Structure 1
Amino acid sequence: MKQSIPTIVITEHDSTAELLKLYLQEFDGFSFLAATSNYSKAYNGIKELTNSLVIIDVSDYPEQALNFVSKITTEFPDCRVIALSDKPDVDLVIRAMRVGATDFLAIPVIKAEFLGVLAKLYNDLTGGKQKKSKCRVITVYSNKGGVGKTSIATNLAYELAKITKENVALIDLNFQLGDVTTFLDLKPSFNISYMLQNLDKINEDFLLSTLERYKDTSLYVLADPPYFKQVDDVPLKDITRLFNILRDTFSYVVVDTSAGFDPKAITALENSDLIFLVTIVNLPAIRNCQRCLELFDKLGLDSEKVQVLINRYMENDEIKAEDVEEAIGKKLYWKVPNNYFTMMSAINKGVPVSSVNPDANVALSCKNLALMVSDSIYRQNLTKKNGMV
């Protein structure tokens, strides 16, 4: 019989307690023990338990709540704490994690996110090991602007999360002109500058609690810095450290870089398992692609992990895919069809293209691309109608 972890909910709000009780009933492994707003009563209950879970709402009286979290996590090391708030600002999240909370969720609590946290905590409390596939870092790159690199990165990351249900990180490494948050209509509290300044404090719980989660998916976004002055003199070794930390937490990391060979972009390329070199079908872009491949070779990048992707491809174009392959001396990995109006509609709405029209050719191509690079069984069902390998 599966071990059941007793759970105590501390909140002033009956609606929050009832919702959490319903969610807990859907997870075989946790049992709802009690709900209370009285810290003394909660403490007396916790001290009688081993391997317990406390879910505490810190919205109304954060100082009192965080002091209580510090007390119980110090006295009862087998107790795990999920903190909740309807105002989850950056400082509050950091303070909660520092006093011992293992996770921090926003109110109203999203069921999928809550159940995911429960699964992780159950393995932690019962000594089980979560089976996580080896992380793949995928960098979407172009040495030429305006080819749709960010569109590819954003939609690839979204489709990977949607298909595999595994944790996917989307990293905006374009420190000057990043657009990932615009493409997904996000206003994150944290950004990559903060992460790079606090590498010694970052662990899996911190990442999943502070990176901006996209709606109710398993996609987490790390945004570019909002101010240019935040990106001065970033040591390249810190970017490598960040990649290593992300590898320990996520199954896939998709990186959108700046256009050009700046040191940060090169560091991302060197730390990648797969590089998508994005181009479009016109002579200047193809020439730039050719030069880029030559530079990759000089940098010592493994040619097997560098794959060329054509964006905005039209079958009736004067320049054919075969012409591009001949010019660059490399077989194309994928073709994303041109569908200007659907893609622009998605960009202007700040949503993935499949949210605008899941049956559009460009949406299907992005989905199939994600299937192709994933390590999941879904890859077996890939239809190559919109792409090529």
Structure 2
Amino acid sequence: MATKFFGFNFKPLRVSRSMEVLGSVPARQKVNPADGGHSPDYTLTPLTLFPHVTVRDPNGITPSGDGNQRLANIRWHVVRDGVKSLIDFTKPSGYVLLGAEGSANAGCLEVGVNADPGRPLTLVFSADLPDTATSQVHHVEMSFPVVAYADTCESRIELDCAPQVPYNPLRMPAQMTVNARLMYGGTEVTPPDVRFVWQRLRDDGTWGLTGTDVLDYDVEVSADTASATVRRDLMGQRLCLRVIALYEPGTDPTTLAPADDSPHSVVTLNRYIPEMHCDIAGVPMNVTPGLTAVYPEAVVTDNCGVVTGWESVFDAVWRIGKNRRPEASGAAQPTISYVTVGRGSGIAVPLSAVADMSSGAIIDLTLEDRGPLCALADSDGAVLTDDDGAILLA
């Protein structure tokens, strides 16, 4: 009888591991310093981590490929502020184990807890992978940091109007309100957390606080400082406003003062009247004998049609002159001498203003811009007021 010993030389499993982020939610958060909000916010849109384990059996006994369904003793730990704690999935903690042992996605974790700048959230996965051929147990462990960083916030002022605003007194309302808002990062900061300072460009080229001069009657700042109402019919030809935002997170804005680097915005309002056209109505082609006057009326139009209420902006100046014919064929047109006979939208023009009507007469209509309203002052430059203290304008 003969015997011979033989044994099995099994090679150990080769285990690979990697932590994967599933879905579109990233593993890096951005925190807004203005309100502490997280983007993304894991409490609303959780982060999903999958500890992917793959195995390869060099002996060919067990199939190679995904090894998650073979994992046992699955655990997750969280490390924060240097303290490592075991996650208890039986209690509400913000963490949910999506993949149970024996499933293809075993160990998959849903993270519903936010990280903070300077306080990373490190998640540690551990599990056992038994090797049935060698009876060995491979311990699988991997960690994954979830990092949050503070967003770099830029402060900017946004106005609800363009930097250059034309004002046509014939077509636009006299009153205009300019609203300001402060954007700090992606968040709007509203009063009382922010205070707006409104300044105007003075005639000497310097910026002055609106409301500190007797001539600042054309601008009124709201109580919360977030808007300024402008009487454009009183502003003159041009008004330049600058608004400055005073804001620091966690600071009372009333304790702050404007600085060179304070966020600001400028808007310029200009009085602008586009091209006008005037026509004369109510004048007959031929004057009947005995007629002593004609009664012309002014018709004013622009590119939008007939203009009403133009009398508050323009003076209609009426003149009449004798029609003069050239002395000979081809001669230059003779100069007509006009006589001013009145002002207004419609007047009576006396024909007696022309001594000789044998060649007819020509009526001339000219529109003169009255200009913006201005404060009246005496010879010493003092502003004139009425008995109630209201400034006199003309």
| TM category, shorter | under 0.3
Q: Point out the structure with the larger strand share.
A: 2
Greater relative contact order, per chain length (Cα 8 Å cut-off, separation 6+): 1
Greater CA radius of gyration, 1 or 2?
A: 2
